[in-house]
Amino acid sequence: MKKSKRIFALIGAVLLICLYGSTLIFAFVDHSASMDLLKASIAATILLPVLLYAYNLVYRLSQKKRPDDPDEDQ
């Protein structure tokens, strides 16, 4: 379980770095669609961490309802 958490955390971190990079690129590119892409990138930069936090919170709350499993750490 810990291994999958680390993999998902790494994927989330890489995704956020890509979003920050795309936001920076779209801010400097002068193209007709760049303003819409910049808005979408900023929105995703804000929404992705919020959704990841909400997923983590729901996961923790759902795990507390289960009985202790001795094989959970493996």
Mean pLDDT of 45-57: 85
More confident residue, 61 or 5: 61
Which is it for the CA torsion 51, 56, 59, 64, positive or negative? negative
- State the burial class of residue 37 (Cβ atoms within 10 Å of its Cβ: 0-12, 13-18, 19+): middle
Q: What percent of the chain has pLDDT over 70?
A: 85
Q: Using a cut of 0.85, tell me whether the model's pTM lies above it.
A: no
Structure tokens at 41: 């990138």
More confident residue, 15 or 69: 15
DSSP codes, 19-53: HHHHHHHHHH---TTHHHHHHHHHHHHHHHHHHHH
